[in-house]
Every structure is written in structure tokens, then in C-alpha cells.
Structure 1
Amino acid sequence: MTYLPSLLQSSNRQVWFQAIGRLLYQTGYGLIQFYIPLVFVKQVGLSATAVGIGIGSGSLAGVLGHFLGGYLADSQYGRKNTLLVSAILSLLAASVLVLTHNLPLLIVANLIIGLSAGCYWTAADAATIDVTASEERHHAFAILVLADSLGNGLGIFSGGLLLSLIHRIEALFIFGGLLFLGFLVLIQVAIVETRQDTPEPTNTLQGFAVAFKDQVLRLFVVVNILFTTYVALVSSTLPLYFTNTSSRLLSTTESTQTSLASIANLFTWCYVGLGAVIQLPIVQILGSLSKVRVLMISMLLWGTGFFLVWATGIDSSIQLAIMIAALSILSIASVVYKPFAPAIVAELAPLSLRGVYLAISYQCWSIGYFIGPILGGWAMDQPPNVAHHSWLVVSFTTLCGMLFLYFLARRKDAAIAPTEVLSE
């Protein structure tokens, strides 16, 4: 871990403040995203398709949120104020969820969550790029992804604990709101503005036009949509699928809350927990490879993991073992992907358009979280055979991802940081 001392220097203190902020934000956000499908299908009684539509609507709002976040972060408004907007919206979303027992309010809450997430990710990553050198950015993002994993794990674990102790779904969202309040306080007290003024300021709206013309960025967006759809399927659909298919592993007398807690514990330790443990070592091992090659490794792991998810429905006698193997491989795929994807965008983005480039690249998350929950929810509402084989189809889509990455590797080296475009 030779890179850690440099990141501990005072000049990089903001990386650690951002990591604490991500821990708070992702604990609340991860709790909400993980339990919305389980709670509103199993306890409130909505269909999986309806809940998928609710979650997907939030992803559509995320499209606007990313554009808004990119515009605000690169404007005089700056990174810090954009993060404050995100925290306030998160608090509002948690408050709405406390009162939600029907689809319209679920859609409203997810719309607000989408706006919040769009503003957060764009501004937080732009601030991290501002205070790190090119050669250490994937290390810095690894620390943020570690905080991301720990936050998701804490959110899932604490949510399962709350459900088993209190048995009231409102407690989940009240706890999430308290976490977002802590995030708001941290931004106000510890986060500083990192936006850098350039000698020739670029109009932010014109910057979006410049970014949209970047062919390498467009190609990256296409392949990144696949990655984000996979992440969305794991977080929004896979818990429900495992809950439905693992009934033989659980006592028939177990309550719904206990069943949910059992699946939550499986995700906490095998998906989120493992990812947190191996995040920094993985980045250290893969740091010498080209970033596109690292994404190819991730794509292969996603394909293998989803194939094993499909295999869980073949032999019930070893179902638990295959679940553990599938979640472990998907966890490795995730931790390989997450630090290197924004590092690629940082290489492509001109100094004055970091927020804009990140805003466009993060549209992939909005699109992925729109496609994943809706298709996943639809598949879960179909006969068991269709739901089962849908994971095999997802596994085969990684072959298309490998092809896109091949073309990205060929074009990327000739188009790193096209700053000359801005002076034309």
C-alpha cells in the first residue's frame, strides 16, 4: 500500500473528507435502494413490476440530476454548494419515504433520490479529481469506492437489524434521514471548494456541446451503460430473486422480516463485505495495467458471476454454496470496475470541463438504474423458468461489452485529454 502515505498528506485531506461523506451518503442511499424492492413487494404488497417502475423513475430524474450537477459544479456555484443541494434533496426523499405506502409516493421519493444522486456523484468526483494527480487518481477513487462498499454494507446490515428489532419499515427511512443529516453537516464543516478557475473560462453550456462531440467519451458511455445496468441488477433485483428462490434454505416458520434479514446478511458479507476487504489490494495489483484492460477483466467477472446466479436454480442441494460463489465473483467484478471507470473520464476531460464530462459519464448510472430495475422487476413477475433463465441472458451480454471495450482501447490512446478542442 505504498500510495497511502501520499494520500495522507494535508494536500489530499479533502480525499479523506470526501470518503467520510461517501460513507455517510452511501449508508443512507444503500439502505434505501436495497430495501425498497424487498419492503414494498413483500410487506406493502406492490408488484415487482410496479416497484421497478418506481425505482426506474428515479433513474430518469438522475439524468436531469447529473446534468444539473455537472452544470453547477463547473459554474461559479461550485462543487461544495452542489453537494449541499444533494444532501438537502436526500433528506427530503427520506422524509417522503417515511409516509409512502403507495406507488405514486414511491415514484415521487425516487424522483427526488435521482436528483440527489445526480448532483452528488458529479460534484464529489470532480472535487476528488481537482485535488489528485493523474497517477494517483485510481488510488484515490479506490478509497472512495471502499467507503462506498462500507457504506452499502452498513446500510444493508443496519436495515436488517432495524427490521428484526423494530418491525416497522418507517424506521429504515428515518435512520436514512439521520445519515443524510450527518452528511449535510460534514459538507458545511469540512468540505472546501476545489473548483479551479482557468485563464480562459469556458461557458458550461457550450462545454456540454464539446463533450458530446468527443467520440471516445461516447464509446465509453455505451460500454459503461452495461456496467451500471449490472450493478443495478445486483442491488435492486438479485436480492428479490434470491429471496424467492431460496425458500428451501429457510424454515417455513420464519417471518418475512427474518427471511429478508437472512438475504441481507448474505449480501452484506459476500458482496459488500468482501468488496470492502479486497478493494485496496485489487487496485494495487491492477494499477500497472491499462485502465481499459482492467475494465475487460471486470466484464469477464460480471459474466461469470451472472452465470453462477443462473446456476443457483439448477441444483437446490448446493444452492447456498453457489449463491456465495456468485455474490463473491460479482463483488470482485464491482470493485475492479468502480475505481478505474472515473479515472478514464478524468484522463479524457479538459480541466475546465471535469464536471461536464463526469455528468455525461454518470448518465450511464441513470440509464443503468432505469433499465435494470424495470427489466429485472418484469422478469421476477414472470413464471419461475423465465426469471431463472433471464440471468443467463444477462451473462451473455458481457460478450457485447468485451467487443465495445476492444474498440475503446483502440481509440482511447489517441484522444487523452483533448484540451486543444477548447481553444478552437
Structure 2
Amino acid sequence: MPRSLWLLVIGMMVNVTGSSFLWPLNAIYIHDHLGKSLTVAGIVLMLNSAASVIGNLIGGSLYDKIGGYRTILLGICITIFSLTGMAFWHGWPTYPILLTIIGFGSGIIVPAMFAMAGAVWKEGGRKAFNAVYIAQNFGVAVGSALGGLVASFSFDYIFLANLIMFILFFLIAFFGYKKIKTDPGNYTSVLQEKKVVKSKSKLVALMILCSAYLLCWVGYVQWQSTIATYTQEINISLGQYSMLWTINGALIVLGQPLVNPVVKWFGTNLKGPIITGIIIFMISFGIAGFANDFKGFLAAMIILTVGEMFVWPTVPTIADNLAPKGKEGLFQGIVNSTATGGRMIGPLLGGILVDLYNMSILFNSLLILLVISIILSLIYDRPLKTNVEKQTVSM
């Protein structure tokens, strides 16, 4: 990998390590420590994710206009400001307010990081995005493991640890990313491209794919919200729950030699890894629906992790392939805002279903959503094929 990509990988690793001290424990903190219902916890997480959606779109747009360096620093500064406040004031209602601002700041960062990764190693294709994805999950493994340990002493230390990691991330970005060239300003509107119909078709294709991506995230985020609180109710300890995310991150890092041959076998067919991953998601939720102890949830988490290794890096790869010149940031912003949208809708939807019905209804609903996701993934490129047929007829 190029040196510039290594710097991005290290920065992403530090960024996610800091965030992972807190995000797996958000629902538990709101429910158990602040005394709010699962529905209220879902609303708070929805606000955090809604702010991240806005941040993702703004971050992607800023990347195309002012470059990745200044965009990332802006996002980090907003996040550090909020984390400083949270380190001192994390009661109600200060906590949800600051958590929402953190969502906005961190949302600005991610699409710029992914767009920069694609820019510095174009020939790497999926490998560039997979490297950033691995860095994210290494951070998840380290951060969630340390987060569970720190939380067992006091939640107060969680907020301070998160702040320290983001200050370190700021130093890495400030001194390391300035020389990374991203060619800002060389962009045009999708509607101003010379091949207007083709550009529209690419955008429509991306939106269909992102709809499938959204549904996957609605299911996945239940592990951070409803499933997290459910594990506490069946006497799975906080340390054991945090260990699930440690295993998730470690398996993603260590399991690449097992997944890469399968991805290579699919070749240029990027639908293959996505469909495979979604089917594996369904198996995971099927097992989780019947689990009633740590071993059952551990098995479900391992299977879930294998599924995400196929899906998560592939979607930004397709977005990069579809993006018109100069709109790479926007397309990555759409992808990341879609993932964040799933994290926004998921906790609220899951909280309502569990509060009104039970966990069984939730798991059955998730399986239905994943079936729809498979259908959308199969047809996302139809607009591109239709456009080619129209051009052939006109010739």
C-alpha cells in the first residue's frame, strides 16, 4: 500500500478506537445509568445518527470542494469540542445533546477518509477500502475491549479515554494528511456531466444499492441497541458483551486470508460478495433469535462478522466505480449517510418492536428486511443496463 494510505489507515484506527470506548455501551448507559426506556434510548441514538447523516453528506461535499485535509480537521475539531463537554457533563439532558453534536462531527470525517483512500490508491480497487475497513474493525476490537474494562470501574473514564484518542487522531491528521493530494475543486454536478443520462443512471443505481445497504444496517445495529440490552437481561455481563465486539474486530483483522480467496473467486462480479454476506447475516440472526446464553450469541456474532466482511468493503468500492469525476466525495458521502441512516432507524425501530411485542418479533422482522435487501442488491445495476440499451438503440 502507498504510504499515504497507511497514514489514513492509522488515523482511522485511532479514530474508531476512541469511538468504540463509547458507542457499544450507549444504549446500556442510557437505559441502565440514566434510567430511560429502550424507546427513549432509540430516539437518542436516532438523533446521533441523524446528525451523522447530515455530517456525512456535508463531509462528502466538502471533500470535493476543499479537499480531505481541511474536511477531516473540521470534523475532528467539532468532535473534540463535544467530547470535552461530555467528559465533564454526561447527565440528562446534556448527554443526548453532546452525543448528537459528536455524531455530526464524526460524520464529516468518514466519507473524506474513504474518498481519500480511493484517491491515493486507485489501482488498488476494493483493497484500498478494505484496508480502511480493517483499520476500523481493529479499532472496534481494541476500543470495545478496553471500553468494557474501563466501564467496569467507572463510566466517567470512558468519556475521558474517548477524548484522549481523538486528540491523538487530530495530531495524526494535522501533521500527516496535509501532503495527501485529493485535487479539490475539480468537480461538476451530476446533472452537468456531458453524459447526463449516464450520470443519472449511476446515481439511481447507487441509490438502489444504498437502499439494500440501509436495510442491512438496520439489522446490524440491533447488536448495539436492543440485543445489547437484552444480553444484560439474561445475565450476560457487560464484560462479556464488550468481548463480542472485541471478537468481531479481531476476526475481521485475522480472518482476511479466509475471505479474500472467496472475494477473488467472484472477480469483477461485486454483487456476489454482497449477496453472500446478506445470506450469512440471515443465518446469524436466525441463531441469535434462539440464543439464551453467551455461547449462542458468540456463535451468532462470529457468523455476523463473516457476513459483514463481504458486504461492508464492497459497497464503497461500487460507489467509487460509479462516481463521476470529481464527485467521489459526494458518492462516498451518500454511502456513509446510508449506513448512518440504518444506525438511526434501527435502534428506534428495534426499541419500539421490543417494547410493544418481543425479541422474537424483532428477529423475524429483520429476516424479512434482509430478503428485501437481497432483491435490491440483485437489481441495483438495472438502470445502467437500461441506459446502455437506450444508447445502443439510438446508435
Q: Secondary structure at the match of 2:327?
A: helix
CA drift at 1:118? 2.0
Instruction: Report if aligned partners of 1:27, 1:154 keep a CA contact under 8 Å in 2.
Output: yes
Relative to structure 1, the CA distance from residue 408 to residue 212 in structure 2 (aligned partners, 3 Å threshold; closer, same or farther) is closer
| 1:298 to 2:298 alignment | no
CA distance in 1, matches of 2:72, 2:190: 18
Cα distance change on mapping 1:348 and 1:414 into 2, 3 Å: farther
Residue 133 of structure 2 is matched in structure 1 by: 145
Equivalent residue for 1:194, pick from 181, 204, 216: 181
Q: Is the 8 A contact 2:64 2:187 kept in 1?
A: no
Query: Which among 26, 40, 48 is matched to residue 30 of structure 2?
Result: 40
Quick check: 346-355 or 281-290, which moved more?
281-290
Q: How does 1:162-181 map to 2 (within 5 A)?
A: 162-164=150-152, 167-181=153-167
Report if the CA contact (8 A) 1:305-1:330 is conserved: yes
Quickly say closer, same or farther: Cα 1:173–1:204, change in 2 above 3 A.
Answer: farther
CA RMSD of aligned residues (A): 2.5
Aligned-partner Cα distance in 2 for 1:348–1:203: 14
The residue aligned with 1:105 is 94
Structure 1 length-normalised TM:
0.83
Could you tell me which of 286, 311, 319 is aligned with 1:345?
A: 319
5 Å matches for 1:126-137? 126-134=115-123, 136-137=124-125
Using the alignment, how far apart are the partners of 2:374 and 2:101 within structure 1? 34
Task: Return the offset for 1:26.
Answer: 0.5
> Aligned residue for 1:92?
81
**What is aligned with 1:402?**
374
Alignment gaps of 5+ in structure 1: 1-6, 251-258
- Please state if 1:237 is matched with 2:259: no
**1:4 paired residue number:** none
User: What percentage of aligned pairs have identical amino acids?
Assistant: 21
2:347 is matched with: 373
The superposition leaves residues 328-378 of structure 1 with CA deviations (integer Å, 9 ceiling, x where unpaired) of 111111111111110000000022110111112222122111111112223
Cα distance in 2, alignment partners of residues 160 and 16 from structure 1: 28
In structure 2, list runs of 5 or more residues that go unmatched. none
Change in 2 beyond 3 A, CA 1:86/1:50: same
**Equivalent residue runs for 1:75-86 within 5 Å:** 75=65, 77-86=66-75
Q: How does 1:241-280 map to 2 (within 5 A)?
A: 241-245=230-234, 247=235, 259-269=237-247, 271-279=248-256
1:56 maps to 2:46: yes
- Residue 13 in structure 1 maps to residue 3 in structure 2: yes
Counterpart of 1:23 in structure 2 is 13
Provide the C-alpha distance between the structure 2 equivalents of 1:281 and 1:119, rounded to a whole number of angstroms.
33
- State the alpha-carbon separation in 2 of the partners of residues 262 and 197 from structure 1: 45
Q: Which residue of 2 aligns with 1:3?
A: none
Per the alignment, residue 323 of structure 1 pairs with 297
- 8 Å CA contact 1:82–1:120 kept in 2: the answer is yes
Residue type of the alignment partner of 1:214: L
One-letter code aligned to 2:211? V
* CA–CA separation in structure 1 for the residues paired with 2:244 and 2:203: 42
Deviations 1:1-24 (A, max 9, x none): xxxxxx2xxxx1111111101111
- Would you say how many aligned residue pairs link Structure 1 and Structure 2? 382
